[in-house]
Amino acid sequence: MIWNKEAECMSREELREIQLKKLQKIVKRAYENVPYYNKKYTELGIFPEDIETLEDINKLPFTTKDDLREGYPFGMFAVPPKEIVEVHSSSGTTGKPVVSGYTRKDLDDWSEIMARGLNMMGIHEEDIIQNTHGYGLFTGGFGVHYGAQKIGSIVVPISTGQTRRQIEIMKDFGTTTLIFTPSYGLYLAEVAKEEGIDPKSVGLKAIGFGAEMWTEEMRKKIENDFNAPAFNIYGLTELMGPGIAVECSSQNGLHISEDYFLPEIIDPNTGKQLEEGKKGELVLTNLEREGMPIIRFRTKDITSLHYDKCECTRTFVKMDRITGRSDDMIKVKGVAIFPSQIEKALLKIDSIEPHYQIIVTRPHLMDEIEVKVEASPDIFFDEVKEMINIKKKIEDYIENEIGLRVKVSLVEPKSIPRSEGKAVRVIDKRDLH
């Protein structure tokens, strides 16, 4: 299923022509209407007319989350307040939140790109989409909601929480599509089983998940629990929200709506553009945004881009799933570690639950990592020898994955706090300031 074949299947040559025209227009719009960009570009001696080719985007400086925070709350808007019809915001847990403003056209565009994504998952007007993403300032719930309305399907805006009610709704309403974060999906399946309900019996046809990092092992477990394919959805508040990129039926990378977003991959240390297939930091530019045009935004998400032909016939570039962030990396004993690496090791092992926490400490001069993992009920109350063997196996798997020996603690089932939003995987107790 393809929502907008004319756009999603256009030739690369035609797409590049469209991207250049839109890039020139958005740079001019940002320069003329957003004080931040006017000041930044003027100081660097860069002007809209300097953008003559797509490659000229390299002349423009990056925009960071700190830049957006400095404009809090409405300093990055390119239109008068009366033209903004909706605002969303990041959590602000690491400083001032980033506020994102939308005009009516921006919301229409958001609906369009998310409708494309839902179609990639095989969703159409006869489906019932149960959306467990939050409906507050977080963009997650609204992106899916607008896309579902665009294609004409029934959307159940249940939002986060009410886990047992979620399961009741799934059964009673005949939900065909579930939207959740990977960690919450695992929790939903766990609670359903506690209630004596086999998640497979719900009869889902598709699952959409995102908002946190995951591994293929986690996807497989989710698909096995619900007996339905799970598709990755990518987005971020600063650029629009969920729907910027979504997996198609091949489940081998996420198609970016390139007529709305211009992607780049850079070396996070040097800022230099990397060639196709090289892993680095994703940089995105809005090509259509009215309310808040953002140019060359450093997402901090680590991925790579691929332009080879997709079996679904869409010509939009595909990005790999996010395997880490350039700013949430844990550096221990000189080794760079991403939580997803540890998760990958854990999900290869039977007899443990897919719930864990990584605790980093510095008791003396050296960093130490402890990985707390829930044992399955079958082995937690078993003999000590079996527990020791499993603990050693986990430590071996993690060492093989990250190159460091870590301390593993097997803890009682259900003792690690569950999340109905983004899971808190890492607790860093070091004083690094």
Say what the pLDDT of residue 218 is.
Answer: 84
pLDDT tens column, 286-299: 999 999 999 999 99
Tell me the pLDDT band of 349, cut-offs 50, 70 and 90.
Answer: confident
Looking at the DSSP assignment, which residues form a beta bridge with residue 330?
337
Mean pLDDT taken over the chain: 92
* Model confidence, pTM: 0.84
Mean pLDDT is lowest, of 177-181, 198-202, 280-284, 421-425, for: 421-425
Domains of the chain: 1-325 (3.40.50.12780), 330-429 (3.30.300.30)
Number of neighbours of residue 59 by Cβ within 10 angstroms: 15
* Whole-angstrom distance, CA of residue 79 vs CA of residue 294: 13
**Higher-pLDDT residue of 121, 423:** 121
Tell me the pLDDT band of 432, cut-offs 50, 70 and 90.
Answer: low
Say what the pLDDT of residue 335 is.
Answer: 73
Provide the percentage of residues in the chain whose pLDDT is more than 90: 72
pLDDT tens column, 27-85: 999 999 999 999 999 999 999 999 999 999 999 999 999 999 999 999 999 999 999 99
Mean pLDDT of 146-160: 96
